[in-house]
């Protein structure tokens, strides 16, 4: 079984992904069986499957680097349990870097 | 689902770093905008009729700044005349793209735009400077030149006040940087919301207490059009350390950013610590604590093929290579620029005064809203027809 | 190395000895400095006597079994009196100014947000029968949900104990072993915790903030590396005292992260520590600093910090906030909603007071991460002192205004009486 997820990268994040601003991906419903796939799994999955360069600018200490905003279905992931959030089919997940010039 | 703690109705979409509150989109817009309004009112940043230039880079902060200031100007009737002011450093693949964003913003927000370029002011674009000096000190050149460029652009626009998009994170980072670098004069100044030198243009930071996270969220939810690419010439590594540290601190305790600003505001410097005194550069008239301002020295170095001039080795280089030859091109003197700006003002005023009533002209003269008093005096001396019209009501 | 500025006299001094390398070196230096050498006339004893105090944290942080014994021996070898005070003794009424104060301060939180809805403190008689001081200390630390806050509490309690002990022993100077490396870390971490106001005092080589007890930091110009070498050459043993963040990742607390940051920077840019220390030394205590101490950290309170934050923090959307001037006034700067009224109307036996105005900015920030806790007697005593001081000031204002209004004999009389 797999989940369809829409991923978007902006605020400069897209540069780490070949300038792709968004991607529709299919990910396993359980990357670490028997647990359902959560944000933690998804972040590693993105690093292993999508990230084109400099993983240190995306991941730090097993979570996204501080300064990167994550929205899950248009909601701040801090309200959704962050790494523990369980991915659902059709989720819309956005990564925005806040670190680029103002 | 989490419910907004402010309206108790809608779904919360954001956790505020400042207060840890969970709030919905509408309440977020409200508190975000209102806090900026409070900052403006509390610090008396503006008065009705002010001509304000928004320093616009096309990045997130200045884009949100232009949007919010325009919105607040309408909502609370500040009575401001707003302009966008951009600096074109001449960096291919970076600034040319971001200026396109600024030009779109100009259309979207319907604000006049002025672009001043390094090429036009100094005779060198950043691309050319990098070719000359390499990638080591290029950021010094860029930083020094930008500050002057903004002030000069503001004079051309005839504005008395530039607002910049520096946010709370930027200010907190600067506080830390200044401690780490031992720059005590800047440590004292960097938390001030308004900085100004004698007759020079006022600068302020309406986002002083606004978190970067919220600015990005606001831009995202409002779907504001901004440009987000790192400058192609490598960014400052030391600053990078401070930024990473700050972001790590924020993840431990989100209020740290405001807490650092609070600390910075409380700092007081011992009296016996020497702070540089401000004078003016004898070559270009810009404010400077030395005889020559940094920009003039750097430019001289470029023009004479001595790029190390002004980067720590000024005195030695001077001894070896002597003083600047007379035919070297320099930055236009500020007085010349001011005269030019004044002439433009006068021409505008002349055009405008023929279309309006004498009373309005008198008001202008006393309110000084449209042009400065000196410009009016020039006008009165040169144009007898307008002169008689102005004094009619008396 | 002996350039630390000490003035000769007949004073008694107290040395805070943790047993770590810096305080070990300090003890040795002080010994050398203060030693009388009969054959040299110029070398006279500077201090009348030297007391040593060791705050024993082992009940909380653990550590090697022989740590305590080793630390005690360090002082005994030099023929100094050493007193071991377990950190939990802070809950004993002995460590208050009066020596008998036995009220404690209890904070209630509203259960929903795990946050003090308002700093409602109950000053109550301590119940000493059931719980040991050790458990009380543990409960206090457990009440803080963040390690940053626990570390702060730790620090305040230690300082408070040392000050009380110094006073009891009539010591006029308290020697702390902060090295320049430690002070550079403190400069950044205190700044990050919003403690910039008191920073100049907390890193000063000498400060009179605590009145009769001057705090001295004679090691302030020495890098931890230099201290390590000194100890190596003189074969001085030091002990390793684990901290709350030992073995934890850098992001465990602000202090820990800052330590990592500064030590890392110093490695890449070797002048970092000295630059930071020099910058910090150029800061002076603000003229706004009065005798108003924060009841928890004992550091000066900056006036008006509450309104400072309210001005740019809109915490509600009621219509009042729509006016041009900010009027939102939630009593707690990050109060999610105004639950204060319900809290206030609850019948409480003891007098409740909102003591948030007796806290400094940094401690108010801390309180956001504090649940139901009971603060030791020294805090309760400070509350009492401050309240009386306030009352005295109010009466004074009242009397003065009386004076102005009546301008008569009575006013003058009152004035004279006061003197």
Joined tokens for residue B212? 């970067």
* Nearest one of B71, B253, B126 to C194, comparing CA atoms: B253
Q: How many domains does chain A have?
A: 1
CB C73 within 8 A of CB C57: no
Spatial distance between the Cα atoms of C241 and C23, rounded to a whole number of angstroms: 12
For chain B, the average pLDDT equals 85
H-state helical runs in B158-236? 168-181, 184-189, 212-221
Taking 50 as the threshold, does the pLDDT of residue C3 lie above it?
no
Average pLDDT over residues C220-243: 88
* Nearest one of B226, B246, B339, B328 to B285, comparing CA atoms: B339
Taking 90 as the threshold, does the pLDDT of residue C388 lie above it?
no
CATH number belonging to domain C12-398: 3.40.50.620
Spatial distance between the Cα atoms of C289 and C281, rounded to a whole number of angstroms: 17
Neighbours of B150 (CB within 10 A): 20
Neighbours of C210 (CB within 10 A): 17
At residue B197 the predicted structure's pLDDT band, cuts being 50, 70 and 90, is low
Instruction: Please report how many Cα atoms fall inside a 13 Å half-sphere around the Cα of residue B112, on the Cβ side.
Output: 13
pLDDT at B393: 41
Taking 60 as the threshold, does the pLDDT of residue C258 lie above it?
yes
pLDDT at C39: 65
At residue C417 the predicted structure's pLDDT band, cuts being 50, 70 and 90, is very low
In sequence order, the 6+-apart residues with CB closer than 8 A to the CB of B361 are B353, B389, B390
C263 touches chain B (CB under 8 A): no
pLDDT at C330: 33
At residue A7 the predicted structure's pLDDT band, cuts being 50, 70 and 90, is very high
Q: Do B61 and A12 touch (CB under 8 A)?
A: no
For B17, nearest residue in chain C (alpha carbons): C334
Nearest to C312 among B27, B35, B238 (CB): B35
At residue B347 the predicted structure's pLDDT band, cuts being 50, 70 and 90, is low
* Nearest one of C192, C209, C212 to C200, comparing CA atoms: C209
A53 touches chain B (CB under 8 A): no
pLDDT at C111: 39
Instruction: Say whether C86 sits in a helix, a strand or coil.
Output: strand
Residues C286-297: pLDDT tens digits? 888 887 889 999
Q: Which helix (H) or strand (E) element contains residue C399?
A: helix C377-406
Average pLDDT over residues C33-47: 67
First to last CA, chain B: 70
Q: Which segment, B165-169, C41-45, C307-311, is predicted with the most confidence on average?
A: B165-169
Length of chain B, please? 394
Nearest to B217 among A66, A67, A69 (CB): A69
Residues B357-384: pLDDT tens digits? 666 666 665 544 445 555 566 666 666 6
User: Pick the residue with more confidence: C397 or B298?
Assistant: B298
ipTM for this prediction? 0.86
The CATH number for A79's domain is 3.10.20.30
C205 touches chain B (CB under 8 A): no
Average pLDDT over residues C330-346: 34
Residues C79-95: pLDDT tens digits? 899 999 999 999 888 88
For B164, nearest residue in chain A (alpha carbons): A102
Cα dist from B386 to B342, B394, C96, C136, whole Å: 17, 14, 81, 85
* Long-range contacts of the stretch B378-385 (C-beta < 8 A, 24+): B378/B342, B378/B346, B379/B346, B379/B349, B379/B350, B382/B346, B383/B350
Bond prior to A34 in cis (omega within 30° of 0): yes
pLDDT at B359: 66
pLDDT at A80: 93
- Chain C: nearest CA to B205, how far in angstroms? 13
* Nearest one of C13, A87, A10 to B224, comparing CA atoms: A10
Quote the DSSP letter at residue B137.
Answer: S
At residue B215 the predicted structure's pLDDT band, cuts being 50, 70 and 90, is very high
Instruction: Say whether A24 sits in a helix, a strand or coil.
Output: strand
Dump strand ranges (E) for chain A.
Answer: 2-10, 22-28, 59-60, 63-64, 68-72, 75-76, 92-97
User: By CB neighbour count within 10 A (0-12 exposed, 13-18 middle, 19+ buried), where does B272 fall?
Assistant: exposed
Cα dist from C283 to A22, B262, C220, whole Å: 50, 15, 15
CB pairs under 8 A between A and B: 74
Rg, Å, chain B Cα set: 23
Distance of CA B239 to the CA centre of its chain: 20
B151 touches chain A (CB under 8 A): no
Instruction: Say whether C12 sits in a helix, a strand or coil.
Output: strand
User: Pick the residue with more confidence: B326 or B37?
Assistant: B37
For B371-385, C132-146, C307-321, C347-361, which range has the lowest pLDDT when averaged over its residues? B371-385
Joined tokens for residue C72? 């005690």
Quote the DSSP letter at residue A78.
Answer: G
CB C381 within 8 A of CB C105: no
Nearest to B251 among C191, C251, C313 (CB): C251
Joined tokens for residue B305? 């093929």
Select from B27, B72, B180, B188 the residue whose CB has the most chain C CBs within 10 Å, as the one to mutate to test that interface. Answer: B180
Spatial distance between the Cα atoms of A43 and A53, rounded to a whole number of angstroms: 15
* Residue keyed to tokens 């410009």: B375
- Chain A: nearest CA to B163, how far in angstroms? 13
Spatial distance between the Cα atoms of C365 and C144, rounded to a whole number of angstroms: 12
User: Pick the residue with more confidence: A80 or C131?
Assistant: A80
Q: Do C311 and B42 touch (CB under 8 A)?
A: yes
Each domain of chain C, given as residue ranges in start order, spans 12-398
Average pLDDT over residues A81-88: 94
* Long-range contacts of the stretch B267-272 (C-beta < 8 A, 24+): B267/B187, B267/B188, B267/B191, B267/C196, B267/C199, B267/C283, B268/C200, B268/C283, B268/C284, B268/C285, B268/C286, B268/C287, B269/B184, B269/B187, B269/B188, B269/C282, B269/C283, B269/C284, B270/C282, B270/C283, B270/C284, B271/C284
Structural domain boundaries enclosing A91:
2-97
Measured in degrees and rounded to the nearest 5, phi and psi for residue B264 equal -60, -40
> Cα angle vertex B369, ends B368, B372, to 5°?
45
First to last CA, chain A: 43
In sequence order, the 6+-apart residues with CB closer than 8 A to the CB of B303 are B123, B328, B329
> Cα angle vertex A69, ends A68, A72, to 5°?
135
Length of chain A, please? 102
Average pLDDT over residues B126-154: 88
Q: Do C311 and B38 touch (CB under 8 A)?
A: yes
For B229, nearest residue in chain A (alpha carbons): A12
Residues B145-180: pLDDT tens digits? 988 899 889 888 888 899 999 999 999 999 999 999
Taking 80 as the threshold, does the pLDDT of residue B122 lie above it?
yes
Side by side, the strands of the sheet bearing A22-28 are A22-28, A2-10, A92-97, A68-72, A75-76
Q: Do A10 and B220 touch (CB under 8 A)?
A: yes
Joined tokens for residue C411? 């006013």
CB B161 within 8 A of CB B83: no
* Residue keyed to tokens 């301060």: C105
For chain C, the average pLDDT equals 78
Spatial distance between the Cα atoms of B227 and B98, rounded to a whole number of angstroms: 6
CATH number belonging to domain B29-266: 3.40.50.620
pLDDT at A62: 87
A15 touches chain B (CB under 8 A): yes
Percent of all residues in chain A with a pLDDT value above 70, rounded to a whole number: 97
Taking 90 as the threshold, does the pLDDT of residue B394 lie above it?
no
Residues B244-278: pLDDT tens digits? 899 999 999 999 999 999 999 999 988 777 777 77
**Virtual torsion, Cα C301, C302, C303, C304, nearest 10 deg:** -120
Spatial distance between the Cα atoms of C217 and C26, rounded to a whole number of angstroms: 9
Spatial distance between the Cα atoms of B36 and C312, rounded to a whole number of angstroms: 7
Average pLDDT over residues B33-48: 94
Domain assignment present for residue A102? The answer is: no
Side by side, the strands of the sheet bearing B161-163 are B113-117, B81-88, B51-55, B161-163, B202-204, B194-195
> Cα angle vertex A32, ends A31, A36, to 5°?
75
Taking 80 as the threshold, does the pLDDT of residue C189 lie above it?
yes
First to last CA, chain C: 49
Spatial distance between the Cα atoms of B227 and B102, rounded to a whole number of angstroms: 9
Phi-psi region of C25 (alpha: psi -120 to 50; beta: other; left: phi over 0): alpha
Taking 90 as the threshold, does the pLDDT of residue C14 lie above it?
yes
pLDDT at B73: 96
> Where in chain B do CATH 3.40.50.620 domains reside?
29-266
Domain assignment present for residue A56? The answer is: yes
């Amino acid at each position: 079984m797999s989940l369809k997820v829409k991923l978007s990268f902006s605020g400069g994040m897209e540069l780490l992904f070949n300038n792709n601003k968004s991607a529709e991906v299919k990910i396993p419903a359980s990357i670490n069986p028997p647990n359902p796939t959560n944000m933690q799994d998804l972040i590693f999955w993105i690093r292993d499957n999508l990230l084109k360069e400099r993983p240190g600018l995306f991941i730090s200490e097993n979570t996204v680097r501080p300064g990167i905003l994550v929205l899950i279905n248009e909601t701040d992931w801090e309200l959704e349990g962050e790494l523990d959030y369980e991915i659902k089919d059709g989720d819309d997940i956005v990564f925005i870097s806040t670190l680029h010039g103002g | 689902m989490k419910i907004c703690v402010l309206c108790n109705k809608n779904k919360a979409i954001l956790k505020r770093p400042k207060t840890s509150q969970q709030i919905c989109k509408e309440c977020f817009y409200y508190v975000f905008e209102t806090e900026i309004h409070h900052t403006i009112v509390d610090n008396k940043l503006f008065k009705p009729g002010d001509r304000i230039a928004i320093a616009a880079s096309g990045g997130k902060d200045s884009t949100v700044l232009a949007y919010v200031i325009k919105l607040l100007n309408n909502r609370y009737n500040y009575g401001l005349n707003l302009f966008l002011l951009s600096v074109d450093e001449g960096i291919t693949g970076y600034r040319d793209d971001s200026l396109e964003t600024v030009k779109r913003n100009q259309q979207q927000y319907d604000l006049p735009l002025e672009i001043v370029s390094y090429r036009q002011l100094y005779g060198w674009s950043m691309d050319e400077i990098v070719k000359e000096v390499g990638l080591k000190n290029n950021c010094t050149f860029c930083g020094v030149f930008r500050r002057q460029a903004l002030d000069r652009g503001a004079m051309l626009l005839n504005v008395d006040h530039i607002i910049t998009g520096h946010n709370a994170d930027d200010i907190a980072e600067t506080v830390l940087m200044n401690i780490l670098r031992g720059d005590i004069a800047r440590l004292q100044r960097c938390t001030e919301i308004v900085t100004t030198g004698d007759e020079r243009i006022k600068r302020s930071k309406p986002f002083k207490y606004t978190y970067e996270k919220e600015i990005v969220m606001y831009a995202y939810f409002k779907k504001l059009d901004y440009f987000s690419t790192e400058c192609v010439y490598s960014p400052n590594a030391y600053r990078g350390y401070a930024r990473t540290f700050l972001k790590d601190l924020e993840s431990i305790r989100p209020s740290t950013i405001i807490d650092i600003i609070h600390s910075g505001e409380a700092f007081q410097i011992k009296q016996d610590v020497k702070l540089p005194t401000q004078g003016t550069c004898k070559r270009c008239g810009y404010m400077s604590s030395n005889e020559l301002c940094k920009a003039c020295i750097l430019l001289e170095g470029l023009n004479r093929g001595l790029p190390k001039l002004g980067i720590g080795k000024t005195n030695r280089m001077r001894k070896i290579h002597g003083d600047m030859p007379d035919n070297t091109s320099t930055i236009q003197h500020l007085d010349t620029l001011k005269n030019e700006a004044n002439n433009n003002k006068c021409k505008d005023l002349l055009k405008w005064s023929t279309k309006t009533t004498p009373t309005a002209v008198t008001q202008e003269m006393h309110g000084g809203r449209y042009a400065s008093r000196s410009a009016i005096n020039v006008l009165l001396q040169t144009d007898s027809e307008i002169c008689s019209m102005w004094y009619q009501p008396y | 190395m002996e350039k630390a500025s000490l003035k000769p006299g007949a004073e008694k001094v107290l040395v805070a000895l943790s047993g770590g390398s810096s305080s070990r070196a300090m003890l040795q230096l002080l010994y050398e400095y203060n030693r009388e050498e009969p054959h040299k006339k110029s070398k006279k004893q500077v201090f009348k006597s030297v007391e040593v105090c060791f705050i024993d944290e082992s009940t909380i942080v653990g550590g090697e079994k022989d740590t305590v014994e080793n630390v005690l021996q360090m002082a005994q070898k030099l023929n100094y009196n050493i007193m071991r005070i377990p950190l939990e003794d802070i809950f004993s009424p002995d460590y208050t100014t009066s020596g008998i104060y036995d009220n404690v301060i209890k904070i209630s939180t509203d259960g929903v947000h795990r946050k003090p809805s308002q700093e409602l403190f109950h000053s109550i008689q301590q119940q000493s029968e059931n719980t040991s001081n050790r458990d009380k200390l543990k409960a206090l630390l457990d009440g803080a949900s963040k390690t940053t806050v626990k570390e702060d509490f730790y620090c305040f309690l230690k300082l408070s104990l040392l000050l009380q002990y110094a006073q009891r022993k009539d010591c006029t100077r308290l020697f702390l072993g902060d090295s320049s490396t430690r002070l550079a870390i403190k400069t950044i971490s205190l700044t990050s915790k919003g403690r910039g106001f008191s920073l100049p005092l907390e890193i000063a080589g000498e400060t009179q903030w605590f009145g009769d007890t001057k705090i001295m930091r004679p090691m302030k110009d020495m890098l931890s590396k230099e201290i390590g070498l000194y100890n190596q050459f003189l074969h001085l043993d030091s002990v390793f005292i684990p901290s709350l963040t030992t073995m934890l990742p850098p992001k465990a607390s602000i202090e820990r992260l800052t330590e990592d940051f500064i030590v890392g920077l110093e490695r890449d840019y070797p002048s970092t520590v000295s630059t930071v220390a020099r910058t910090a030394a150029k800061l002076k205590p603000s003229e706004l600093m009065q005798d108003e101490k924060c009841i928890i950290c004992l550091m000066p309170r900056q006036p008006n910090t509450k309104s400072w934050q309210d001005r740019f923090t809109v915490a509600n959307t009621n219509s009042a906030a729509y006016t041009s001037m900010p009027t939102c006034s939630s009593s707690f700067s990050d109060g999610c909603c105004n639950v204060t009224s319900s809290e206030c109307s609850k019948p409480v036996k003891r007098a409740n007071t909102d003591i948030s105005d007796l806290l400094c900015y940094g401690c108010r920030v801390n309180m956001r991460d504090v649940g139901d806790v009971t603060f030791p007697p020294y805090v309760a005593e400070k509350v009492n002192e401050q309240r009386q001081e306030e009352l005295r000031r109010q009466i004074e204002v009242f009397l003065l205004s009386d004076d102005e209004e009546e301008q008569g004999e009575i006013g003058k009389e009152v004035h004279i009486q006061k003197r």
